[in-house]
């Protein structure tokens, strides 16, 4: 692990953020998204599931609609208006042809210069064991990024596209960071939009700001002392 984090590249205009569930993006990336959209960058979200298995005490058929609505609200609070759900089953994501094909099609359709992928490693940025859906989805997304640039693979999924940068969020091996001093408040509000989910976890609303700020300050300790969001930039 590097001692200090480098500044994320800024020579791009269009980003696509890929995640397995509603709330994944808000745990660590929303502050960076807020900074990017305020600079006029176009950012879209694509989620593999609707997070229907994520709220203890709420049946999946009800939770799906609740979590989708909360994710759209969370996105709007950081300037994102385009949010797409693939509808794969929560808790049963598999890095197979169906998911990879959907991701290749999305990448070719959005044609982003930057893609942010949620952590595929065995452990999270906090050292905890990563969820199976996160690992399966993250690896499949990285594979899809390779396939998206090959016109002979999945030819029915649109014209080939190769991205400029790939950044992994919530990685235990971060290399770069974004100063989120101007996006910290929006990041707090974005996570707070997942009210039903957080309530199911037993997290009171007043705990959101300390959690988001604490994470940003922890990253910032390796990035000039400013609140920051960390990413693992994968060489292309």
The total domain count for the chain is 1
Q: Please report, for the domain that includes residue 95, its CATH number.
A: 3.40.50.10320
Asked, for residue 42, whether it belongs to a domain, the answer is: yes
Asked, for residue 1, whether it belongs to a domain, the answer is: no
pLDDT in tens, the chain (236 residues): 457 999 999 999 999 999 999 999 999 999 999 999 999 999 999 999 999 999 998 999 999 999 999 999 999 999 999 999 999 999 999 999 999 999 999 999 999 999 999 999 999 988 999 999 999 999 999 999 999 999 999 999 999 999 999 999 999 999 999 999 999 999 999 999 999 999 999 999 899 999 999 999 999 999 999 999 999 999 87
Report d(CA 203, CA 198) in Å as an integer.
5
Segments forming the whole domain that contains residue 39:
6-234
Report d(CA 107, CA 167) in Å as an integer.
14
pTM over 0.85: yes
Asked, for residue 79, whether it belongs to a domain, the answer is: yes
Is the C-alpha dihedral spanning 38, 41, 47, 50 positive or negative?
Answer: positive
Asked, for residue 74, whether it belongs to a domain, the answer is: yes
- Closest listed residue to residue 55, CA positions, set 73, 76, 69, 44: 69
Asked, for residue 218, whether it belongs to a domain, the answer is: yes
Report d(CA 149, CA 160) in Å as an integer.
5
In angstroms, the Cα distances linking 40 to 8, 15, 43, 63, 107 are 16, 11, 9, 33, 20
Asked, for residue 95, whether it belongs to a domain, the answer is: yes
């Amino acid at each position: 692990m590097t001692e200090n984090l480098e500044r994320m590249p800024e020579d791009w205009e269009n980003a696509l953020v890929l995640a397995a569930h509603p709330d994944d993006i808000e745990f660590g990336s929303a502050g960076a998204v807020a900074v990017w959209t305020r600079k006029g960058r176009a950012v879209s979200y694509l989620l593999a599931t609707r997070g229907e298995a994520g709220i203890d005490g709420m049946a999946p058929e009800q939770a799906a609609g609740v979590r989708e609505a909360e994710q759209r609200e969370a996105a709007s609070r950081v300037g994102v208006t385009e949010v797409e759900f693939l509808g794969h089953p929560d808790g049963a994501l598999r890095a197979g042809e169906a998911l990879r094909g959907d991701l290749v099609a999305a990448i070719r359709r959005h044609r982003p210069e930057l893609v942010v992928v949620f952590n595929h490693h065995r452990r999270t940025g906090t050292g905890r064991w990563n969820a199976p859906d996160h690992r399966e989805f993250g690896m499949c997304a990285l594979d899809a990024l390779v396939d998206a640039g090959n016109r002979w693979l999945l030819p029915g999924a649109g014209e080939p596209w190769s991205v400029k940068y790939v950044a992994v969020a919530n990685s235990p091996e971060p290399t770069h960071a974004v100063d989120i001093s101007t996006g910290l408040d929006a990041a707090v509000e974005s996570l707070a939009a997942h009210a039903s989910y957080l309530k199911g976890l037993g997290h009171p609303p007043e705990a959101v700001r300390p959690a988001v700020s604490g994470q940003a300050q922890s990253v910032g300790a390796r990035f000039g002392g400013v609140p920051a969001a960390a990413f693992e930039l994968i060489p292309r």
